[in-house]
Structures are given as structure tokens and as C-alpha cells.
Amino acid sequence: MKKYLTTSLSTLLIISTFLILNGCANSAKESKSTIAMDTIYASDIIPFFQHWNLILGNGTNAGPAIDFEQKDFFYAANDGKKDWVVFKTPNAGNTHGTSNNTRTELAQLKKWAPKTEAKLNATLKVMNVATTGDARVASTFSVVVGQIHSADGHENEPFKLFYKKFPGHTKGSVFWNYEINTAGDDNSGRWDYSYPIWGYDFSVVGTDKNSYPPEPKDGIALGEEFSYEIEIKDGVMHLTFTSEGHETKTFTKNLIDSEYAKPSDMPEQVKNLFVPIGQDGVERKEAYANEGLFFKLGSYNQTNGKDPKLNKVWCSGAETHNGDLEKQYADGNYTEVWFKSASMMISDDAISNAGYFAANDGLSSKTVYPSEVIDCMDKFKMLMGDGTSVDDLIDFEHKNFFYTAIDGTRRWVVYKTPNSGVTSKNSSNTRTELHEKREWTPEEGGKLTGTCRVMHVSVSGDARVAASYSTVVGQIHSGAGHENEPLKIFYKKFPGHEKGSVFWNYEINTEGDDNSGRWDYSLPVWGHDMSVIGTSKNDFPEEPKDGIELGEEFSYTVNVYNGIMYLTFKSDRHETITFTKNLITSEYVKTSDRPDQVNKLFVPIGQDGTERASAYSNETIYFKQGAYNQTNGKDPKKNMVWCAGAETYDGDIQKQYENGCYTEVWFRDTTVGPGVSPGN
């Protein structure tokens, strides 16, 4: 009996607890229902968000956006007739993966093979694109509203749907781009081919920063609806674009059999737009076959604040207010896209896309060290612009001097140094520069290569001083005797000029114990040599016609073999230039051997020495590479060749950086090792 009563009481307790919990659950449903009357979520409008992760304009992966909103980036809105899903993104925020651009965008949770069936439909209107940027940059003033993205290999994009509108225009253009899936391991040569739908294609740009092409007659206005359908069948992409009052457009593109597998297949549009910036690759024959693909949808802002010198296709130079979100939104520096409807279908064979998110989530905030970009950093030590010496460069960076950056296509190592900081014991100039650990003689030989772009030289100095406005990007330095420099590779650009000069100097290894008479002989590569100077402090010579612009890539090879130095300089759209110089037998042993250039530049300041007959023979030497700033704040009265009289803000590095009184050089490739026979 007692057992029965206990059981009965337990049963009553269970029943009571069930009723209480059920009542709480009903109350929660009523509460959510009440909230839902006030809050419409995106998932209430387009009920397929369980199939996507949502990436926000602050770089966050918010996961599946069920009953989710974030008022800065993603929410629901009503236009007076219908509810829409809003995707909003600033010009600058935190990015996702390796991209330069912010996005509020859905990314599919599964990936599928291009030979299977997949389909995406969407109806949308673009409400805003950025109002600032450089009109010469193809991506400026545009937003991507739909994509197919690869989850494998290079993670390239066989489909990107753009809307682009220039400031002052009523109508914008809708076009789509196909990005090649580059052959080989190096993806830096990838390029897009663009197809116009309504209005222009991607390649129609302005003639200068604020000059725009004519408004497209058949374009789409901000706030005007259009729809797209992407259907994949048997490796072929079928595209359909519709908008009321506009002609329906259709396209097909094979995703598994490339039409760009040879250099001769490259379209003229690509030759005009991408080849000048070094993006001249070919596509693997099978294109995107054997790679997992997935859809993306939303607002992928293509306008960013990066300097167009970095990349004249993808770096917009737009206003970003240093990433201040509210300021960007207040003055139109954002993109905003509204979606009314969307649907998706994929094959049952689709598999998890988790690997893509694992590789890309938070990547933009992760540190990529210079040693991960240039794999011979273990061969060097370094001196930075504040005088700090670093012996181990593996997994090392310094945000003021030595770090990595992305230019829109590839990652580079950045060397940056002010006009005034802390210098080495025998120099007047600051440097953030690699110093080879191995020392060798000219007879033993050595080889250094570098591919670089000079991003900035000092904007202040004295135009009469040969070293003003210049930086050294590569050297051979002696570690014995006078510790002179048989090679210095310079870049120099005068203020107001678009193009600068690349030249190299040979410094004599002075005869005798007195090194004060040493001088440099300068040879032009592209543009002028060092001796071309101004007639007064702010009077500049004529701009070189065959010069190199800031941000323009060039490369050099220094090969010393059996005492002979072989130099090769290369740059797209410029003639390849070569030199040879004997480092163990001097051509300057007599006063009469001195070149006229030296008589004009150095002799007037008392530097009139001669060189030992054996030059640098059997003297230990080593390579240096980076940013060795030749513009300093010293009074030109002391030396009209090397004392630049530039602004230094009493050595305040941040003030120098803010006011352009520094040099910055980017390298994407470096090799160092023994010299090799020139025939090899």
C-alpha cells in the first residue's frame, strides 16, 4: 500500500510538472508570436536561410541567419508595398578570407560538382553604391549581388554578377564576370572576362580619377528591380537576366572545358585591362572540373579604400573614414542591396562546405608573417627604421616597419622607414632592410633576385640634392676595408611626377686609407640616372618618359660569378635592361678614368678619389634588400649629393608617416644563394 501511494504521488508530480512546463512552452510561443508581430526577420521573407552561413560587413561568420538581424548589416525592411531582405556593407570593415572587400553575403553550406545540377534564382534591387573612389579603377562604384565560388584549389569565382553606377548618373550597368581558374600553383595571373547585360561591361572606366564615361542608355537605375537565374547542368552554366522594360538576356558558359588555355585565347578586353598590371595567366584546360562550387548572394562591396597604385583594377582609393562605420553610412560610402525573393536547388550529391569556412573565417584578422611570403627569410637578419636589429625573421613582423599586405591579387612583404629614425653606425639614412647572413667574396660569388614595387618615396627634400626623393631597394655591401657598396639599386621620383627613375650606382673602393674621396657612378635603367637634379630647391627636371610609376612592378637579378657582376632588370611594358661590371679589376685607377658625371656631381664637393686596382677583390661582401631611405633631414650645405634637407618632424615617426615623409617598398618574391654561370 505504501509503495502504491508513493507511486501515485510520483505520478501526480510528473503530471503536474508536465502541465507547468507545457504552460511555459505555450507562453513562450505566445511571446514569440507577439514579438514576431513587431519584428519581421529575413528568414520570414525568404525561408531558405538554413542552407547558408551569413558573413557580415565586420568579417563575422554569423552562421545560418534564422530569426536573426543585425541592424548595421542585415535586416528586413518594407518599401511600402512589400517586405525585403536588406544586405548592407561599408567600403571598409573587416573582410573575410583574403579579400580586400567587405561583404554582407550568404555563403552556401554545401558544395557541389559542376557536372551535377544546381540552380539559384533571385529578385533584387540595388539601393546604393559607394559615392567615392577612382573612376579609372574598374571595380569602383560597384557591388556583386550573386556569385558562384570555388571551395577548392585557388578558390576562384566562375561567376560574379555586378551592379555599377558612376556618381551623377541615374542609370547603372549590370554585367557578369568569369574569372579563370589559373593553371599552375601561382594564382597571381588570374583575370576576369566581363559580359555586359544592361549597360556596360566591367572594362568601361573613366579617363581620370573624377571623369566618368557617358551614362548607359539601357542601364538600370538604383531601386529598379531585376532578376537572375543561374542553372548548372552537365558542366555548363546557363544564365538568364530579366527586368521589366528591358530585354531579357541569356548566356551559357562551359565550366569544365576552358576556352582560355593558351595565351592566344586571351580576349582583347583582358589584354587592355589586366595584362598591364601583370595579370596575364592562362586557365587550366579542365577549368573548374573536379572542384566543389557553391553559391553566394548578397552585397559584396567592390569599392575599397586601398591605393590604386596597388592594383588599378581592384583598389578603388575610396573614402573609408578610417573604418568608421557610421561616418561611411552617413556620406554614402557603402553598398545596400534589397532582395525580394530567392530560391535554390542543389543535387543530393552535394557535400559539406565546412572546409571553406574553416580556411577563411577570421583569416583577415590572422597574422601572416613576411617569412610565410618569402621563404628565404632565414638567410637574412634585419635593421628597422627605429634602429632595432632582428636576427631571427621567422614568424616576425612589426606593424610600423615590416609586415605583409594584399594588393587585390597576391600578398607582399612591406618594408617601410621614415626620413628620420635611428640609423646604422656609418649611415645618415634610415632603413628597414634585410642583411644577408652569409658573407662571400666576388670570386666566390652570390645571387640575389627581387620582384618589387615602390609604393612611396618622401614628398619633401631639396631637388638639387641627388639623393632626395629616392630609396635603395637592393645592394651589395662590403663587410671589410672601407665597407663601401659596389651596387645600390635606386628608385627616385620627384614630387608632381607620375613616373620615377630606376638606376644603379657603383661606389668605388677607394685607394688608400682615406675613404672621404669615394664617389658613385650612376647608370640609368628606366628614366634618369642619379645626376639629373633640379636647378633650385623646388624646381624639378623633366619627368622621364620611360620611367616607372609608384606601384608599378619591376624585378632585378644580381648575379656575381667569378668576380663579374651581371645585372638584369625587367618590367612589363618596359625594355629588359642588362649590365656587366667587373668587381675585381678597377676601371677607375687614374684621375683621368673618372667619368664626366662624377666630375660634375661629386668633384665639386671634394669627393675626387681613385679606386684600388683590385677593386673589391677578395673582400667579403653580402647582399641587402628592402627600403633604404635616401632622403634625410640633414642640411644640404654639408653635402649637396647626400644631405636632402627633408622634413623629419624632429624624428616623430608617426608624423612623418602621416605627412608623406617616408619610403615604402613591397616585395613579393626574393631568392638568395650562390652565383651561377651566366649561361645557366
> pLDDT tens across 442-489, in order?
999 999 999 999 999 999 999 999 999 999 999 999 999 999 999 999
Q: What does the pLDDT read at residue 312? A: 93
542 touches 534 (CB < 8 A): no
Q: What does the pLDDT read at residue 408? A: 74
**Whether residue 310 sits in one domain with residue 176:** yes
Q: What does the pLDDT read at residue 675? A: 97
**Whether residue 321 sits in one domain with residue 268:** yes
Q: Within a 10 A sphere around the Cβ of 535, how many other Cβ atoms?
A: 9
- Residue 17 in this model has a pLDDT that exceeds 60: no
> pLDDT tens across 379-430, in order?
999 999 999 999 999 999 999 999 999 887 889 999 999 999 888 766 779 9
pLDDT, the chain, mean: 93
- Residue 4 in this model has a pLDDT that exceeds 60: no
Q: What does the pLDDT read at residue 2? A: 32
Mean pLDDT score, 71-92: 97
Q: Look at residue 648 and tell me if it is in a domain.
A: yes
- Residue 553 in this model has a pLDDT that exceeds 80: yes
**Whether residue 175 sits in one domain with residue 114:** yes
- Residue 13 in this model has a pLDDT that exceeds 50: no
C-alpha to C-alpha distance for 107 and 360, rounded to whole angstroms: 12
C-alpha to C-alpha distance for 178 and 230, rounded to whole angstroms: 13
User: Domain span at residue 178?
Assistant: 37-365
Q: What does the pLDDT read at residue 603? A: 97
Q: What does the pLDDT read at residue 326? A: 96
Q: Look at residue 262 and tell me if it is in a domain.
A: yes
Q: What does the pLDDT read at residue 410? A: 86
Given phi > 0 = left and psi -120 to 50 = alpha, else beta, which region is 63?
Answer: left
**Whether residue 505 sits in one domain with residue 450:** yes
Question: Among 173, 181, 194, 191, which Cα is nearest to 251's?
Answer: 194
Whole-angstrom Cα Rg for the chain: 31
Interior angle at CA 218, CA 212 and CA 221, nearest 5: 70
Q: Look at residue 314 and tell me if it is in a domain.
A: yes
Q: What does the pLDDT read at residue 363? A: 74
**Whether residue 270 sits in one domain with residue 210:** yes
> Is the torsion defined by CA of 524, 526, 527, 533 positive or negative?
negative
Structural domains of the chain, count: 2
**Whether residue 329 sits in one domain with residue 413:** no
Mean pLDDT score, 558-584: 97
Run of H or E including 568: strand 564-570
Q: What does the pLDDT read at residue 422? A: 82
Q: Of 335, 365, 395, which one is at a domain's C-terminal end?
A: 365
**Whether residue 399 sits in one domain with residue 287:** no
Q: What does the pLDDT read at residue 679? A: 79
C-alpha to C-alpha distance for 584 and 483, rounded to whole angstroms: 15
Q: Look at residue 12 and tell me if it is in a domain.
A: no
Which pLDDT band holds residue 35 (cuts at 50, 70, 90)?
Answer: very low
Q: What does the pLDDT read at residue 18? A: 32
Q: Look at residue 10 and tell me if it is in a domain.
A: no
| pTM for this predicted structure | 0.81
**Whether residue 349 sits in one domain with residue 418:** no
**Whether residue 342 sits in one domain with residue 406:** no
User: Looking at residue 622, which CATH number applies to its domain?
Assistant: 2.60.120.200
Q: Of 365, 389, 421, which one is at a domain's C-terminal end?
A: 365
605 touches 428 (CB < 8 A): no
Q: Look at residue 16 and tell me if it is in a domain.
A: no
> pLDDT tens across 639-672, in order?
999 999 999 999 999 999 999 999 999 999 999 9
Question: Among 165, 294, 290, 142, which Cα is nearest to 230's?
Answer: 294
- Residue 16 in this model has a pLDDT that exceeds 80: no
Q: What does the pLDDT read at residue 97? A: 77
Q: Look at residue 14 and tell me if it is in a domain.
A: no
Question: Among 615, 370, 308, which Cα is nearest to 481's?
Answer: 615
C-alpha to C-alpha distance for 519 and 504, rounded to whole angstroms: 13
**Whether residue 392 sits in one domain with residue 347:** no
> pLDDT tens across 493-549, in order?
999 999 999 999 999 999 999 999 999 999 999 999 999 999 999 999 999 999 999
**Whether residue 360 sits in one domain with residue 381:** no
> pLDDT tens across 603-643, in order?
999 999 999 999 999 999 999 999 999 999 999 999 999 99
> pLDDT tens across 206-265, in order?
999 999 999 999 999 999 999 999 999 999 999 999 999 999 999 999 999 999 999 999
Q: Look at residue 5 and tell me if it is in a domain.
A: no
- Residue 8 in this model has a pLDDT that exceeds 50: no
HEC secondary structure over 463-511: CCCCCCCEEEEEEEEECCCCCCCCEEEEEECCCCCCEEEEEEEEECCEC
Which pLDDT band holds residue 98 (cuts at 50, 70, 90)?
Answer: confident
Q: Of 347, 365, 383, which one is at a domain's C-terminal end?
A: 365
**Whether residue 200 sits in one domain with residue 70:** yes
Q: How far apart are the first and last CA of the chain?
A: 103
